[in-house]
Chain A
Amino acid sequence: MIKNYLKIAWRNLIRNKGFSLTNILGLTIGMTCSIFIFLWVKDEVSFDRFHAGHNNIYKLMANRDFKNSIFTDENMAFPLAKALETGNPQIKYAVMTSHQENHLAQYGNVKLNKDGYQVSDQFFKMFSWKFIKGDAKTSINDPKSMVLTESAARAFFGNEDPINKVIKIDNQLNFKVSAIIADPPGNSTFKFDFIVPFEYTSTESKNRMHEWSNSSNFVFIEAMPGVKQEALNKYVNDVKHQNDSHDQISTYYTFAMNKWHLYGEFKDGKNIGGMIEYVRLFTIVAIIILLIACVNFMNLSTARSEKRAKEVGIRKTLGSDKKQLIIQFFFESIILTCIAFVFAIMAVYLLMPLFNSLVSKNLQLSVVEPFFLTGMVIIILFTGIVAGSYPALYLSSFNPVKVLKGTFAAGKSAVLPRRILVVGQFVMSILLISATIIVYQQIQHIKNRNIGYNPNNLMMVPSSQETDKNYVAIKQELFNSGLISAVTRTSAPITEVGWKSPSPDYEGKPAGSIIFAGLSTDVDFTKTMGTKVLMGRDFNAMPGDSGVMLLNKAAVEAMNLKNPIGMQMRYGPRKYTVAGVIENIVMESPYKPVEPLMVYYNPYGSRMIDIRLKNNADVKKAIQVLRVVFTKYNPNNIFDFKFVDQEFGKKLITEELISRITNIFAGLAIFICCIGLAGLASFTIEKRFREIGVRKVLGASVQQLLMLISTEFLKLVMIAFVIAVPLTWWFMNDWLQKYTYHVSISIWMFAIVGIIILLLTLVVVSINTLKAALANPVKSLRSE
C-alpha cells in the first residue's frame, strides 16, 4: 500500500513540474534559513557548556551603588579569591584572573603580540581545557611557567616541541612553557593565547594580599553541587565586609556561567538579558520563514486541487475512502519536503563559509550528530505535516457526485482560507521588512549620535617605556612628515574607560558619591580628539598643568555645579583646580548616556599615543611614516596601530550583525511569499483563462485585464498591510525602548514599505497575467 502511495505521489510531483518546483524552491529556502538559524542558536546556547562544572561555576559581580547610577562591576579585590577558598566546604574552588591583556611575547627572533590571562592556581581545575601536552594539575605550579594554546605554540615553535622552551614577555619576564592546550573553542567566553600564573611570593604581591579596597581582577567560584546561589551570595558579601568594613556601597552576587553569554547585560544593577533576545527572535524568524514556505504549499495544493477534483471524485466512486486520500496527500507533501530538505542540506554546505563570515563564527554541520538527526526528523515532519494538513483535509472532502456532474465549483469555502493564508504570509513579511528597516534606522541613529570627538582620521599606537622616553622626538618626526596635525597621549584608548572611581571631594559636596570615569592625558588632548572645550581651557603645557583637571559636561551636571572653572577638587592625596569643561565623549556604549569624566594631566601614565591625521592626508603614507618612526624609537615592540573609527565601530557589532541577518531573512521571506504569489496567480489565471479570452473578445485591453487579476491580490496585500502596521509598531517600539537614544517609528517608513510591497505584488502578478492577457483569445476559447 505504502509503495502505491509513494508511486502515485511521485508521479503527481513529476507530472506537475511547475507546482513541484515552486514548492521545492520555497521549502528549500525556508529550510535552509531554518537550518542556519538553528545552527547559530545552537552555538549561542552552547556557550561555556564544555566546562565540566558549568552548572556550578559563577563569576563574582558587584553592584556599587553610587548617587548617579548603580555601577555593575566585575572587578574584585586581590585577596578575595583566596579568602573565599579557605574554610567553607561549600566552595570547591575559587579562582582569580586578570583581565585579558595583550603582551609582546618573544622566542628567538619571533616576536608576536599575544592575548593572555594571569590566573590563580586552581584555574585548570575549575575550567576544563583540553590538554594536548603537559598536565593540568601541575602546569602552573611553577610561578614562571606558561601554558600556550596550540595555535600560539605553532606560531612560536613551528613543529618543534614547545615544552620547556622559554618565552620572554614584554622584553623583561621569562616564562617556561609547561603545557599545550587546544585553542579555546568558538563558544568559549574566555579567549586567549596563553595563561600564566599570578605570582604571590614577591613582597609587592604580599602587600597586595592586604589590599581589600582596590578592585581590578575577576573572581570565579565553583560551588559544590547542590549549593544554593543565595547561600553563595551571602557568603561572598560576608567575607568581603568582614575584611573591608569601609565598603558600604557594594552588594556582591554570583553570576552563573550558564548565563554569561546569553544574559550578559546589566542595567541599574539588574540583569536585563542580552543575546538571549536575539536567540529568541531568530528562533521565531526561522519558524516564520518555514511557515511561509508551508503556506505556499497549502495554497498551491488547494488551488491545484480544483483541477484535481475530478481525480478525487473518480477515486472516491472507485472505493477509496477519505482516510486513504488523506494519507495520499500527506505522502505527497512529505516527499516534497524530503526532496527540499536534501536541497537545503546541499545549500547549507555550500553557503556555510558565507554564513560563517556573516556571523563571524565557525559553525559546522555534521550530519551524523544526534542533534542534527533529531533536528532533521523534526523539520521534515513539521514542514510535511503542517504543509500537507490543510490540502489533505480539504481535497479529501470533495463530494464525488458534484464533482463528476460538473457542477462542482470551488466556492467561497475554498477561497477564503487561502486568502487568509496569503494575508498571513504577507503580514509576516511586512513585519520582517519593517523591523529590518527600523533596526537599520536605529543603527544609523546611533552612528549619527554626537560622540563628542571625531573618530575619523584618528590613529592609536600603544605606548611603551621607550615611547615615553622618546616622545618628544617621535612627536617631532611625526609633525615633520606634514601628514599629522596633532598628537597626544592617553591613559586608555579613547574607546574605553580606563578606570572608574567615586567623584573627587569639593566644597559643598553633598553626601553620597557619584561615580566618575577617569582619564589622564598629555597636552593637545582636545585638539587631537576634536573635542569642543565648552568653558575654560585645555592643558597648555605650563608647569602648573599637573595641578589642573578637566571635567566633562555630564560631570558638571551630575555635581550640579554653577561655575566649575577655578573650583578646587581633592582626589586622594592630591589637589586639582578645574581648568576647563569639555563636551561629553562617548567612550563606552554608544547606546547609553555618557557618565561623568575627569581628565588629569599626566603624560607618563599613558597606554596609547593618539595621532590626528590631517584631513587630506594619505592614510597609507601615514601608516608608512608611523611605521618608520615607531620602529626607530620603539624597536623592541612590534609596530601596531589602530584606527579609532574602526574601534568605535566594534561597539555596534552585535546590532550590525542582527541588522545584516534580519536583512537577509526578511528578503528571503518576501521572496518565498512572491514565488507563492506567482504560483497562485498562475493558477488563478489558468482557471480564468477562458474568462480572460471572452473579455478580450468583448474589447478589454491588456491593462484592464492586468488590473482585473491584480486587484484580487492587491486587496489581500492591503489587508495584510493594515494588520502588519500596528503589529510592527507594537513589537519594534518595545525593542527600541531598550535604547536610551532611539529613533521614533515613522509613518513614512510604513508608507514606503507599503508601496514597495504593492509594487512587488503588481509585478509578480502581472508577469504571470501578461501571458494570458496577450494570448490570442481564439486559443482560450478553443480550449473550452
Chain B
Amino acid sequence: MLQGMFQEGQMIKITNLEKFYRTEEVETIALNKLSMEVGTGEFVAIMGPSGCGKSTLLNILGMLDDPDDGSYVFNDIEVAHFNERKRADLRKHNIGFVFQSFNLIDELTVFENVELPLIYTGVPAAERVKRVEEVLDKMQIMHRRNHYPQQLSGGQQQRVAIARAVVNKPKLILADEPTGNLDSTNGNDVMELLTDLNEQGTTIIMVTHSEHDARYSHRIIRLLDGQAVVENIMV
C-alpha cells in the first residue's frame, strides 16, 4: 500500500470496497475488495481495461452510487451507509464532476449550465453571476456565455463542463475520461486546465485510457477485474 505524495491530509480512504451488479442471469463483480487512499491535493489517474470497474469506482467515490460492502471514509466521515439525502448534501458542497460526454443540458445556455450547481447550493443571484463569470473567464469561454451546448465544439463543451464542475469550488473533482471525446489539441487543453486546478489545491481523480493523459497525474492506480493491481508514482 503506497501513500500519496502530498501528506497534507487524507481525503479518501476506502477499504475492502465491493460492488456487484446483478441481472437476471449473471452477477458481475465490478469492485472486488478494493482498498485505496487519496490524499488532499493529489492528482490521481485510474487506468485499466474496459469493464474493469473504473466508472463504478468513480461513481461510488462521487457518492452517486453506494457500495455493497466495505468502508468509504471521506474527510474522516464514514459515508458508505449514508442515505441518499446526506450523500447528496455532502456531494453538492464538495465534489465536482466532469464526464466523457459532457452532460450539458441542451435547453440551457452556457451561463445557465454553469450556474446550476450554485442554484442548488442556494447561492444568491448576484453572487452567482459574479462567480459564473469568473470561472467562464478562467476557462476562456466567456464570449460564448449565451450559446447553447449544440452551438459549441466538443472542446468548448468540455470546458463548459469543467467550469460547471469547479464553479462551486469543490475540494474534489472526479473526471471520467474527460478527453475521451476530444482530439489531442483539445484534450491537452483540458489536461492543462485540470493541472492548473490541482495546483491551486483541488484534489483530482481522473479515469483515463490514455497513458499520455495519465502522465499529468501524480500517481496512477491500475485496476484489473475490480482490484487495484499496480500503483505508479510519477515524478
Given known A-B contacts A691-B107, A698-B116, A699-B120, A776 and B64 have beta carbons under 8 A apart: yes
Interface: A784 (CB within 8 A): yes
B71-101 contacts to A (CB < 8 Å): 85, 88, 91-92, 97, 99, 101
**Chain A residues within 8 Å of B150, by CB:** 407, 409
Kindly identify, within residues 105 to 125 of chain B, every residue whose CB is under 8 Å from any CB belonging to chain A: 105-107, 116-117, 120-121
Contacts of B117 in A (CB 8 A): 698-699
Interface residues of A in 36-95 (CB under 8 A from B): none
Q: Which residues of A contact B92 (CB under 8 A)?
A: 698-699
Whether the Cβ atoms of B105 and A784 lie closer than 8 Å is: no
Tell me whether B64 and A778 are in contact (CB under 8 A).
yes
Partner among B85, B97, B121 whose Cβ is within 8 Å of the Cβ of A697: B97
Q: Is the CB of B105 within 8 A of A691?
A: yes
CB distance from A63 to the nearest CB of B (A): 70
Q: How far is the CA of A693 from the CA of B121 in the complex (A)?
A: 17
- List the A side residues contacting B164 at CB < 8 Å: 698
- Picked from A695, A701, A704, the residue with its CB within 8 Å of the CB of B105 is A695
Q: A699 and B105: CB pair below 8 A?
A: no
Q: Is the interface of A mostly helix, strand, loop or mixed?
A: helix
Q: In the bound complex, how far is the Cα of B62 from the Cα of A634, in angstroms?
A: 94
Name the residue of chain A whose CB is nearest to the CB of B161. A694
A701 touching B103 by the CB < 8 A rule? no
Which one of B85, B103, B120, B121 contacts A690 once the chains associate, using CB atoms below 8 Å?
B103
Q: CA A784 – CA B106 in complex, angstroms?
A: 13
Contact B121 A694 (CB under 8 A): no
Chain B residues with CB under 8 A of A701: 85, 88, 120
Chain A nearest CB: distance from B181 CB in Å? 11
Which chain A residues (221-260) contact chain B, with CB distance < 8 Å? none
Q: Please, what's the 1-or-0 string for B184-205, where 1 marks a CB less than 8 Å from any CB in chain A?
A: 0000000000000000000000
The reply to whether A776 and B103 contact each other, CB–CB distance below 8 Å, is no
Q: How far is the CB of A766 from chain B (nearest CB, A)?
A: 18
Q: Chain A interface residue count: which class? A: 10 to 19
A698-B164, A699-B120 given; A781·B103 CB < 8 A? yes
* Residues of chain B with a CB closer than 8 A to A698's CB: 92, 116-117, 120, 164
Chain B residues whose C-beta falls within 8 Å of the C-beta of A776 in the assembled complex: 64-65
Taking the complex as formed, is B10 at the interface, i.e. its CB lies under 8 A from any CB of chain A?
no
Q: Is A197 an interface residue (CB 8 A)?
A: no
Asked if A695 contacts B116 (CB within 8 A), the reply is yes
Would you call A777 and B64 a contact (CB within 8 A)?
yes
Central interface residue in A409, A697, A784, by most chain B CB within 10 Å: A697
Given A691-B105, A701-B88, A781-B65 contact (CB < 8 Å): no
A777 to B60, CA, bound (A): 12
Over the window 667-709 of chain A, the binary record of Cβ atoms lying under 8 Å from chain B Cβ atoms (1 yes, 0 no) is 0000000000000000000000011011111111100100000
**B156: min CB distance to chain A, Å:** 17
Kindly list chain B residues whose C-beta atoms are within 8 Å of the C-beta of A781.
99, 103
A406 to chain B, nearest CB (A): 10
Bound-state Cα–Cα, A232 to B126, Å: 87
Complex interface residues of chain B between 131 and 176 (CB less than 8 A to chain A): 150, 164
List the A side residues contacting B120 at CB < 8 Å: 695, 698-701, 704
B59 contacts A by Cβ under 8 Å: yes
Residues on A with C-beta less than 8 A from B103 are 690, 693-694, 697, 781, 784
- Residues of chain B from 54 to 76 with CB closer than 8 A to chain A in the complex: 59, 62, 64-65
Given the complex, which residues of B lie within 8 Å of A697, measured CB to CB? Answer: 62, 64, 91, 97, 103
Which residue in B59, B105, B107 is a CB contact (below 8 Å) of A778? B59
Q: Which residue of A lies closest to B89 (CB)?
A: A699
What is the minimal beta-carbon distance from B220 to any residue of chain A, in angstroms? Answer: 24
Q: What separation, in Å, do the CA atoms of A409 and B116 have in the docked complex?
A: 23
| Complex CA distance for A246 and B106, rounded to whole angstroms | 90
Q: Are A699 and B88 in contact (CB under 8 A)?
A: yes
Q: Which of B65, B91, B97, B120 has the most CB of A within 10 A?
A: B120
- Cα distance A691–B102 in the bound complex, in angstroms: 12
Q: How far is the CA of A691 from the CA of B65 in the complex (A)?
A: 18
Please report the C-alpha to C-alpha distance between residue A701 and residue B117 in the assembled complex, in whole angstroms.
11
Chain B residue numbers with a CB within 8 Å of A700 are 116, 120
Partner of A694, one of B59, B88, B105: B105
> For the complex, what is the distance from the CA of A26 to the CA of B106, rounded to whole Å?
33
| Alpha-carbon distance A777/B121, docked complex (angstroms) | 18
Neighbouring A residues of B88 by C-beta, 8 Å: 696, 699, 701
Contacts of A778 in B (CB 8 A): 59, 64-65
CB distance from B48 to the nearest CB of A (A): 18
Task: Pick the contact of A699: B59, B91, B99, B104 (CB < 8 A).
Answer: B91
Residues of B contacting A694 in the complex (Cβ-Cβ under 8 angstroms): 103-105
Q: Report the nearest B residue to A690, measured CB to CB.
A: B103
- The answer for the CA separation of A702 and B107 in the assembled complex, in Å, is 20
| Min CB–CB distance B74 → chain A (angstroms) | 16
Least CB distance from A504 to B in Å reads: 83
Bound complex: CA A407 to CA B116 (Å): 25
Tell me how far the C-beta of A715 lies from the nearest C-beta in chain B, rounded to whole angstroms.
15
Interchain CA distance A308-B164 in the complex, whole Å: 33
Q: When chains A and B are docked, how far (Å) is the Cα of A406 from the Cα of B192?
A: 31
Residues of B contacting A691 with CB < 8 Å? 105-107
Closest Cβ of chain A to B113, distance in Å, is: 9
Which residues of B lie under 8 Å from residue A693 when comparing CB positions? Answer: 103
Nearest CB to that of B117 among chain A residues?
A698
Q: Which residue of B lies closest to A696 (CB)?
A: B88
A684–chain B nearest beta-carbon distance, Å: 12
Q: How far is the CB of B202 from chain A (nearest CB, A)?
A: 17
CB distance from B94 to the nearest CB of A (A): 10
Encode A192-212 as 1/0 by CB contact (under 8 A) with B.
000000000000000000000
- Could you say which of A698, A701, A777, A778 has the most chain B C-beta atoms within 10 Å of its C-beta? A698
Look across to chain A and name the residue whose beta carbon is closest to the beta carbon of B93: A699
Bound Cα distance A360, B104 (Å): 62
Q: For residue A690, which residues in chain B have a CB less than 8 angstroms away from its CB?
A: 103
Rounded to whole angstroms, the CA-CA distance of A704 and B99 in the bound complex is: 23
Q: CB within 8 A of B106: which of A409, A699, A704, A777?
A: A409
CA distance A781 to B121 in the complex (A): 21
Which chain A residue shows the least CB distance to B165?
A: A698
> In the complex, what's the smallest C-beta–C-beta distance from A346 to chain B, in angstroms?
36
Expressed in whole angstroms, the Cα–Cα distance for A695 and B101 within the complex equals 15
- In Å, the complex CA distance between A704 and B120 comes to 9
Question: In the bound complex, how far is the Cα of B88 from the Cα of A695, in angstroms?
Answer: 11
Distance between Cα atoms of A616 and B75 in the complex (Å): 78
How far is the CB of A711 from the nearest CB of chain B, in Å?
Answer: 14
Q: Contact flags (1/0) for A301-336 with B, using CB distance below 8 Å?
A: 000000000000000000000000000000000000
Q: Give the shortest distance, in Å, between A351 (CB) and chain B (any CB).
A: 42
CB proximity to B under 8 Å, residues A255-307:
none
Q: Can you spell out 28 A-B residue pairs with CB atoms less than 8 angstroms apart?
A: A407-B150, A690-B103, A691-B107, A694-B103, A694-B104, A694-B105, A695-B105, A695-B120, A696-B88, A697-B62, A697-B64, A697-B91, A697-B97, A698-B116, A698-B120, A699-B88, A699-B91, A699-B92, A699-B117, A699-B120, A699-B121, A700-B116, A704-B120, A776-B64, A776-B65, A777-B64, A781-B103, A784-B101
**Residues of chain A having any CB pair with chain B under 8 Å:** 407, 409, 690-691, 693-701, 704, 776-778, 781, 784
* Across the A-B interface, the 10 shortest Cβ-Cβ residue pairs: A699-B92, A699-B120, A698-B117, A694-B103, A691-B105, A778-B64, A778-B59, A698-B116, A778-B65, A700-B120
Q: A690-B103, A691-B106, A697-B103 are in contact. List 12 more A-B contacts (CB 8 A).
A: A691-B105, A691-B107, A695-B120, A698-B92, A698-B120, A699-B88, A699-B91, A701-B88, A701-B120, A704-B120, A778-B59, A778-B65
